[in-house]
Amino acid sequence: MDRVSAKILIYSLLAGASALAHARPAADLIVTDATVYTVDRRHPSAQAVAVIGDRLVAVGSSAEIALWRGPKTAVIDAHGKLLLPGFNDAHAHFIHGGEQLAQVQLNDATSVAELARRLAAQVARTPRGGWILGGDWDETRWRPAQLPTAAQIDEVTRDVPVFVSRYDGHAALANSAAMKLAGVSAATADVPGGVIVRDAAGAPTGVFKDAALSLISRAVPPASHQERVAAAERALALAASVGVTSVQHMSADYADVAAYSELQERGALTARIYCAPLETGWQDQAKVGLRRAWGSAYLRLGAVKGFADGSIGSRTAALFEPYSDEPGNRGILSDEMHPPEAMRARLMQADAAGLQLRVHAIGDRAVSMILDIFAAIQQAHGYHDQRMTIEHAQHVAPQDFERFAQLHVIASMQPYHAIDDGRWVEARIGQQRAKTSYAWRTLLDHGVTLAFGTDWTVAPLNPMLGLYAAVTRATLDGRNPAGWIPEQRITLAEAVEAYTMGSAFAEFQEKDKGSITPGKLADMVILGANIFAIRPEAIREVKVETTIVGGKVVYQR
């Protein structure tokens, strides 16, 4: 028996004897004088909490919790500030994000000339043989909003290979040095599920989309173990500073798991990680007997991540009807969906092995096809609380909302995408389809569980931006202050729940995480302002004061 269970046992024995009731064990940590918003419907609010070891043992008034104080108890006086359960990002590319924190930053470049200038500066910092990666450029920020080309950056980058991503990760720009190293030329054939953007003469312009990204990325030397560990450390520091205490790492490489594993061994994981490697490798997890949510409180496996299509931004999301601004283009299914029966067969086997299925689907056609596959799996294996998720679920055909509910499919969504994409997405899909896009309200009204996250690095990791997006739907360009498709806004309480309990449910952790409830892991965050008491527009400015994971302070502002 460990120390904590011993204490709890002793307390249980003593609790029955009223004469000895004062002799309760001392807490290791007390947070007092807080405005506690628990996300626990049975006890929605409180003032203070007590923690023993890594778990909450009591939630109540400051006076009640003071009884848990002993000579060695650490006490945090929150001075009335808001205490929430830690945020659980249900969809992030965490180590990639950590890598990118040290890479060239192109996201706010407002012209191709600025993009080239920043790449030129990065060339000077790049060691011999190194690649320039990352970037997150966004051509919608410059005029005309055209994709960049290798020719525009070759002069400043010369023989240093460049492969910088569009911010949605569904397209990237290579320079000529990179294409040469990768052996890509006008003679290179197209790839199913991908696009090689070509000029009039058929030569690649430098932009590759979706499955065609691998034509270049396979030439990029993989990150070393030490590089991944360092990237994870950078990402963990950022997560702690913005109150993210759990992360569901989508499309994790096994080498990422190894990096987390080392950090766990060192006691250095300051956020809890659930990894979902690609579904194409489902047998790897199945053959060692891993099932959903397998592992420790800090590091778990047992999910597989699939892709059904691309993104709206890259016009590769699969739609029923053509893009409104590109007749004839209905987007493309991913290479995993060539053919869809192969995807269904793999997911069927992964489900039979007890693995959780999490599938990226953005366009209404892709969402519908994945619902078909999930329905077929449930028909074959029965429904037994598998918690299948559709990741993103951005554009849903009206007839499919009811199917989400019937099939108990979780919608794992990233509210920030709505205020980012909302700047331009209506031009791509038209007014009618926009009404059921990023449709949190409709999904909740159908009884669908929402799990919120960011898709970091596609969106910033900071949960305040997601909450702000969910309640305002005010697009980043300032053009929709009253909300873009305002009828799809949700309440702050609903958004916080999706970002805590909803995400916990999506990773089978709702008994251990997601609310401030005695017995659960002591993962909490103190905010600098009460987001329930301020104007919704101000939520995005709110800073985290203190982040606590497993009863330990991992960030203090």
Question: Which stretches of the chain bind Zn ion, using CB under 5 A?
Answer: 250, 455
- Using the minimum distance from each CB to Zn ion, give the nearer residue, 32 or 394: 394
Q: How far is the CB of 455 from Zn ion (least distance, A)?
A: 4
- Using the minimum distance from each CB to Zn ion, give the nearer residue, 55 or 305: 305
- Using the minimum distance from each CB to Zn ion, give the nearer residue, 176 or 394: 394
- Using the minimum distance from each CB to Zn ion, give the nearer residue, 217 or 472: 217
Structure tokens at 491: 């309440």
d(CA 503, CA 497): 8
Q: How far is the CB of 507 from Zn ion (least distance, A)?
A: 15
Q: How far is the CB of 141 from Zn ion (least distance, A)?
A: 21
3 state SS for 87-149: EEEEEECHHHHHHHCCCEECCCCCCHHHHHHHHHHHHHHCCCCCCEEEEEECHHHCCCCCCCC
Q: How far is the CB of 399 from Zn ion (least distance, A)?
A: 26
Q: How far is the CB of 415 from Zn ion (least distance, A)?
A: 14
C-alpha dihedral sign at 57, 62, 68, 74: positive
Instruction: Find the helix or strand (DSSP H, E) in which 537 lies.
Output: none
Beta strands 35-37 and 82-85, pairing class: parallel
> Based on the number of CB atoms within 10 Å of its own CB, is 187 exposed (0-12), middle (13-18) or buried (19 or more)?
exposed
Q: How far is the CB of 250 from Zn ion (least distance, A)?
A: 5
Q: How far is the CB of 262 from Zn ion (least distance, A)?
A: 24
**Phi/psi at 537 (5° precision):** -65, -25
Q: How far is the CB of 300 from Zn ion (least distance, A)?
A: 18
d(CA 323, CA 312): 9
For residues 541 and 93, the answer to whether their CB atoms sit within 8 Å is no
Beta strands in 425-466 (DSSP E): 450-452
d(CA 205, CA 176): 9
Q: How far is the CB of 474 from Zn ion (least distance, A)?
A: 24
- Using the minimum distance from each CB to Zn ion, give the nearer residue, 51 or 250: 250
Closest-by-Cβ residue to Zn ion is 455
Angle between helix axes 225-241 and 254-265 (nearest 10 degrees) is 70
d(CA 161, CA 439): 41
Residues 6+ apart with CB under 8 A from 211: 191, 192, 193, 194, 334, 335
DSSP secondary structure of 508-519:
T-TTTSSS--TT
Q: How far is the CB of 92 from Zn ion (least distance, A)?
A: 8
- Using the minimum distance from each CB to Zn ion, give the nearer residue, 456 or 555: 456
Nearest to 552 by CA among 274, 106, 240, 99: 240
Q: Rg of the Cα trace of the chain?
A: 24
- Using the minimum distance from each CB to Zn ion, give the nearer residue, 391 or 523: 391
Structure tokens at 476: 């980043």
Structure tokens at 461: 């990791």
- Using the minimum distance from each CB to Zn ion, give the nearer residue, 28 or 335: 335
d(CA 557, CA 545): 5
Q: How far is the CB of 57 from Zn ion (least distance, A)?
A: 37
Q: How far is the CB of 138 from Zn ion (least distance, A)?
A: 16
Name 89's bridge partners.
247
Apex CA 304: angle with CA 189 and CA 340, to 5°?
50
- Using the minimum distance from each CB to Zn ion, give the nearer residue, 420 or 455: 455
